[in-house]
């Protein structure tokens, strides 16, 4: 155990099962530990470092804004926040944006916006229920834990806020029944259940969800915390399906490494939140917003097409191995094999590749800008580990 790891063990809350590695710097798609060993990063800080490490334009944007104005209260206007909101709305079809600091905060905002929209239109407590899917994950606050459809996250933290029900994923009949009860204001889904095992919802299910919610004036809210910001080969994953949600939540790669979340509000919910109904001290921080504006500049159609191409190549390479299947889309991939995922991640770390787990699957979330030679080297090492 190094000195830093000993300090961490003594003074930092034990909420993480940390690997015995201390990273001290990053460059491109590689991380370096205290001894100078290099690792190809196939996790990008859990889909956060979308542009890798040390991107010159990102560093310049952050540095310039930090030197000009690091923070101002949301009681006043700042240019980066307004410009970022404009960019996100123009690229998504949404109408307004609330900025927070994380995916959980973005989902908290979505929950409040849905209930307030329903209260204003149908009366308070008439339609308070938000449906989510079994095996979903929406955050670690009490409300987003209640929304999460995995019992493993619910132990020891009750009682939870009421008003959430869970239905099976990809079961159109069950969804129709649940939406017909009459007390539902919103349906919150991930198009790919990331923490739930990189499980994809079918196009049939997503389209049916949009049609059924629209017919009943129930909001369709899509959690794009992990799938968003170019990760699946589109700016947001719902754009693969030709639909327009009522609310979109996002975070992770939004600011390319700085903490930022956003709740994008559509036509129905654009004016649901008014002064005093919601807020955040750090939300839309000028430095984070400047970083996110630069990320938006980099998330071109060309880059996202390359993300899709790389994802298909990785899938094809890994599925050549006996007993290996790959789920996901773009550079959000889950790899199922005979080897336990946790043991595989540990083996890969020793071989110089950083990866993640998602239940029984190895999870790969490399920087969107990972160069082909680095990607091929990482995949070669992963294939060796899968065959071990």
Reported as type and span, the H/E element at residue 31 is strand 30-33
Those residues whose C-beta lies under 8 Å from the C-beta of residue 373, and which sit 6 or more positions away, are none
Residue of 213, 231, 230, 229 whose CA lies nearest to 221: 213
Positions in the chain whose pLDDT score sits under 70: none
Q: Any residues with CB less than 8 A from the CB of 385 and at least 6 apart, and which?
A: 339, 344, 347, 348, 351, 353
Calpha distance 334→65 (Å, rounded): 37
DSSP H or E segment with residue 11 = helix 3-11
33's CB contacts (< 8 A; 6+ apart) are 21, 22, 23, 24, 39
Distance CA 203, CA 206 (A): 5
Q: Are 221 and 248 in contact (CB under 8 A)?
A: yes
The answer to whether the beta carbons of residues 269 and 119 sit under 8 Å apart is: no
């Amino acid at each position: 155990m190094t000195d830093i790891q000993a300090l961490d063990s003594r003074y930092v809350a034990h909420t993480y099962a940390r690997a015995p590695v201390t990273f001290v710097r990053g460059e491109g798609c590689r991380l370096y530990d205290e001894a100078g060993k290099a690792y190809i990063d196939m996790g990008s800080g859990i889909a956060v470092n979308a542009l890798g490490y040390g991107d010159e334009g990102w560093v310049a944007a952050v540095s310039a804004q930090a030197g000009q104005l690091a923070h101002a209260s949301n009681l006043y206007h700042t240019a980066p926040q307004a410009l970022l909101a404009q960019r996100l709305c123009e690229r998504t079809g949404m109408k307004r944006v609330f900025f927070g600091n994380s995916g959980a905060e973005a989902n908290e905002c979505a929950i409040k916006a849905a209930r307030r929209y329903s209260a204003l239109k149908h009366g308070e407590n008439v339609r308070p229920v938000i449906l989510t899917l079994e095996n979903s994950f929406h955050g670690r606050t009490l409300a987003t834990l209640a929304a999460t459809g995995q019992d493993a996250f619910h132990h020891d933290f009750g009682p939870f806020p009421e008003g959430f029900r869970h239905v099976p994923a990809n079961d159109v009949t069950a969804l129709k029944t649940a939406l017909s009860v009459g007390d539902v204001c919103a349906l919150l889904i991930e198009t790919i259940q990331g923490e739930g095992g990189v499980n994809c919802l079918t196009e049939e299910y997503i389209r049916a969800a949009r049609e059924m919610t629209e017919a009943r004036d129930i909001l369709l809210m899509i959690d794009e915390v992990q799938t968003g910001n170019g990760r699946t080969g589109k700016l947001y994953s719902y754009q693969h399906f030709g639909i327009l949600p009522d609310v979109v939540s996002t975070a992770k790669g939004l600011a390319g490494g700085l903490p930022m979340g956003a709740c994008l509000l559509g036509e129905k919910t654009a004016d649901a939140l008014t002064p005093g109904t919601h807020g955040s001290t750090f939300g839309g921080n000028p430095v984070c917003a400047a970083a996110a504006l630069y990320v938006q500049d980099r998330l071109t159609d060309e880059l996202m097409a390359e993300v899709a191409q790389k994802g298909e190549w990785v899938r094809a390479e890994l599925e050549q191995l006996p007993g290996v299947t790959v789920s996901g889309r773009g550079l959000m991939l889950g790899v199922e094999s005979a080897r336990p995922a946790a043991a595989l991640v540990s083996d890969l770390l020793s071989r110089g590749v950083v990866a993640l787990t998602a239940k029984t699957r190895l999870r790969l979330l490399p920087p969107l800008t990972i160069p082909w030679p680095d990607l091929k080297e990482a995949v070669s090492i992963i294939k060796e580990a899968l065959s071990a």
